[in-house]
Structure 1
């Protein structure tokens, strides 16, 4: 059982003492939250000076040389693998969107099936799985409210009774859109759906969707525990995050992660994005901190969100992986549309102490 937060009947939740065992939250519970989660930030938000520098340097998209690799981005859609209640499979749809099938459920992470999101050029690779080819969606997890992770046109395709697991403070957004089973969680809290456990865990990021809602909702990642709850296969979906101490803490509280879905793209320039997006080398370090058995990269090859060349994230990731001496078969660098099946072996590597990584 993971460490979570105490329930409060008369106001927002507060952190539970370390070691306190707290039961899962009820599905669809309507809760009261603070007006801001800015106290959870682990780095200052971008200011006017930084935005001015970014505009001056024009370092928001790859240059012509960096775009030459678009035609070689990994895209190989294939039929979804057969699965049953005792099997866990993952399929990369693109960016941070995954189909996780575990414990008999089909779960979507940060689903974005739209061709374009606000403020960004159209996607540079197609969606890996057509919407009409999806099995019935049993649940959705959302990491935070940025437009490349929370896509209203995609969510409108879902039935309004679809169970949604979202960060604290974001439930109102979904209920206004007539979703009827929205479960908001604080960091270290959990909820259970049909035997599958969803744990919300911290990340080094932030939230903003409009000019007036900065940090009004929380941000984080998810541990999805398959058949048998906490004793089943464990998939960690990081959402968006910079590198920092939370990865070690997540690994400590959730030992035995079978697969870590970690972001590797949208990292240049580092002075602008280093606090909120891991680069490939930091993603390998995060994998080590988590003590995960395998890693699958994401958050690249889909949208042009930053200035690094489009093929660079995977090239750097593979080089960092080799330098670290990790088994090649534990790096699941899937193409968009590709799938993998988790086997039953539970042999995570031993976490290594964090090391300094240059950005």
Structure 2
């Protein structure tokens, strides 16, 4: 079930949007293990596994959530099978049909309408399109789609308003924010209680490190991971971020970018 929030003058009203079928819970016995940073929750650890650029995996209990998987099946060899897949938008560094066909199995796929419309029929059958403001769940994990778009004049053509999604996932007692390709939006800046945030920062497509630092100091996630950063100089973050947030700089480009 997905619930759509209609935003009117800053107020949210909920209406039920039936999608039929819902999401099937997939509890897979997996021999492969996921390595990476661990973040404790009251119901078990979250594991953060960077893949490359904007692609990452989140492990939680028996769930392995693939986010924007691209790069072909070989990039995911030896990793646990996907139990769910989230796709933020249709650019080629976030969405690749051959990769999905190779790794998706029967995992439910959540994406935006643009990507949903581009999926081949077999994948579309296991996919759901969420719009900005929709709430739902995937395999019992609460999920919200939030706006992801440019805000600076001259960059709007890269990520127009209302097309791309960021995602909020509630894992145990922690809320994880995967921003997708975006600059700071009013919705981002108004967030509270974010345990982990993945923020992009490369020009001209997303935000600058300076914009990211200002946003971080506004919505104050407990932990922030810069990702999708290309050749951006991230050193500004080390001095610009306040004490409320732990900065975790990780190598998101293991293959050299």
Matches for 1:110-259 after TM superposition, within 5 Å: 110-114=68-72, 130-205=75-150, 218-227=163-172, 232-249=173-190, 251=191, 255-259=192-196
- In the TM superposition, what is the alpha-carbon distance from 1:114 to its structure 2 partner? 4.1
CA contact (8 A) 2:4 2:133 kept: yes
TM-score, with structure 2 as normaliser: 0.76
1:263 pairs, out of 185, 200, 208, with: 200
Higher percent of residues as helix: 1
Change (3 A) 1:168 1:185: same
Sort the Cα spacing of 1:297 and 1:25 in 2 relative to 1 into closer, same or farther, 3 A.
farther
Structure 2 SS opposite 1:165:
strand
Preserved contact between residue 190 and residue 200 of structure 1 (Cα < 8 Å): yes
Counterparts in 2 of 1:245 and 1:79: CA distance versus 1, 3 Å: closer
* SS class of match (1:241): coil
Which residues of structure 1 form unaligned runs of 5+?
7-14, 30-77, 116-126, 209-213, 268-272, 302-309, 339-359
Report how many aligned residue pairs link the two structures.
234
Task: Supply the distance in 1 between the matched residues of 2:222 and 2:49 (Cα, whole angstroms).
Answer: 17
User: Structure 2: how far apart are the matches of 1:236 and 1:323?
Assistant: 21
Aligned partner of residue 170 in structure 1, secondary structure = helix
- Please state which structure has a larger fraction of its residues in strand: 2
Which fold has the larger relative contact order, with Cα–Cα distance below 8 Å and residues 6 or more apart in sequence?
A: 1
* Counterpart residue number, 1:20: 13
Aligned to 1:96: 54
Q: TM-score, normalised by structure 1?
A: 0.56
For 2:126 and 2:212, locate their aligned partners in 1 and report how far apart those are by CA, in whole Å: 33
Inter-CA distance 114–283: structure 2 relative to 1 (3 Å threshold): farther
The 1:114–1:194 alpha-carbon spacing in structure 2 relative to 1, beyond 3 Å, is closer
CA distance in 1, matches of 2:17, 2:49: 27
**Largest Rg, 1 or 2:** 1
* C-alpha deviation, 1:259, in angstroms: 0.6
Offset at 1:215? 6.7
CA gap of 1:25–1:318, structure 2 versus 1, over 3 A, is farther
Among candidates 45, 70, 85, match of residue 87 of structure 1: 45
Match of 1:332 among 248, 253, 256: 248
Moved over 4 A (4+): 22-29, 81-85, 214-217
The alpha-carbon deviation at position 103 of structure 1 amounts to: 4.8
Supply the distance in 2 between the matched residues of 1:169 and 1:113 (Cα, whole angstroms).
20
User: Match of 2:28?
Assistant: none
What 5-or-longer segments of structure 2 have no aligned partner? 23-32, 151-155
